[in-house]
Structure 1
Amino acid sequence: MTSNPPLPVRPLQPSRADQPRFPWHHFEMRFSSTPRGARLARRLAGERLDAWGVPYGSDTHDAVTLVVAELSANAVRHGHVPGRDFRLRMSAEGMALRVEVTDTRGERTPVRPIAEPPGAGLDVEGDGGRGLLLVAALTDRWGWFPCTDGPGKTVWAVVEAPAV
């Protein structure tokens, strides 16, 4: 009988005592490029965050879950290619939570939203167009890059956990 050697432990970076620490966590899954797939991605992201120590109802949990919901919905609505899935990746390390959503439609790239003053033409009754504005407001940074292993793009966002 052989024994497996222990997995290497990723060293923790030094932090201030008043800031939360996340050990290194990673989650990745493919979902059908449908509204049901986007809902499932959001639900599983919420469960994963809670398991990582980001409790339901906390500001960080709510922000990251909403970012996953918006990016997944965008992948379904704007990045859908029939017969192809989208991929959700989440990671937590140090004080940062990173979300990546990859779809297979590389020619439709995200456009950075321009924040308008309240009431300056933003259609609050409309059905869309504010997803990336929400992502920009809820995250510390976000962006996108083209896929190197096939067609498509990845939209990413990072939320830094606040000091407790």
Structure 2
Amino acid sequence: MTHHHLTEEAKPSLAPTRQLTLRFSSTRRGARLARQLAVQQFTEWTGLTYDSDPARAVALATAELASNAVLHGSLPGRDFRLTLHLLPDRFRIEVTDTRPERLPPPVTPQPADETSGRGLLLVEVYADRWGHTVRDAYTKTVWAEVRLSITD
């Protein structure tokens, strides 16, 4: 599996066959609900099971992106947005928050005794591609894509 961290959004080559966008409170509960919704939509749209490798990758990537939006990307009283896209060959997760000046740091391996800072490293491992986009002065979107099947 090839992994890429992209700083500019690479437009999906094909239009989404399905899309869903919802807002969540910038709380731990909001992040948890976003993860649960992403996995539910993924399994409903694809017919794959909750315990499939792609569903687990969707859960992990969504949990990390939503958690980062809550911890590092929120302003008081502002929600984060979760957008899910089902594309012909992949599932795209987008989390938009209100701190465009706080971009994701470069992914580097962490010492074994570190208790935090591994989340984006996990996204790097489980997502086929991920990156971030800043389209305006008020928001940024961090996204990850998971292939629907394992072909390696």
TM-score, structure 1 as length reference: 0.77
Aligned mates of 1:151, 1:26 — CA distance in 2 = 23
Asked whether the 8 Å contact 2:42–2:91 carries over to 1, the reply is no
CA drift at 1:163: 4.9
What code does the residue aligned with 1:112 have?
Answer: P
1:132 aligns with 120
What code does the residue aligned with 2:101 have?
Answer: E
Aligned mates of 1:157, 1:56 — CA distance in 2 = 18
Residue number among 77, 80, 92 corresponding to 2:71 in the alignment: 77
Aligned mates of 1:147, 1:125 — CA distance in 2 = 37
1:151 aligns with 138
* Count of aligned pairs: 136
Q: Note closer, same or farther for the CA distance 1:35–1:163 as it changes in structure 2 (3 Å cut).
A: closer
Q: Secondary structure at the match of 1:98?
A: strand
RMSD: 1.7
CA drift at 1:162: 2.0
TM-score, structure 2 as length reference: 0.83
What code does the residue aligned with 1:156 have?
Answer: W
Q: Is 1:25–2:13 an aligned residue pair?
A: no
Q: Which runs of 5+ in 2 are unaligned?
A: 1-13
Matches within 5 A, 1:61-140: 61-114=55-108, 116=109, 122-140=110-128
Q: Deviations over 1:103-144 (max 9, x none)?
A: 001111112202x4xxxxx34343320111011111111110
Aligned mates of 2:134, 2:141 — CA distance in 1 = 6
Aligned mates of 2:86, 2:98 — CA distance in 1 = 25
Q: Higher relative CO (CA 8 A, sep ≥ 6), structure 1 or 2?
A: 2
Aligned mates of 2:115, 2:21 — CA distance in 1 = 29
Identity %: 48
Aligned mates of 2:34, 2:150 — CA distance in 1 = 27
Q: Secondary structure at the match of 2:50?
A: coil
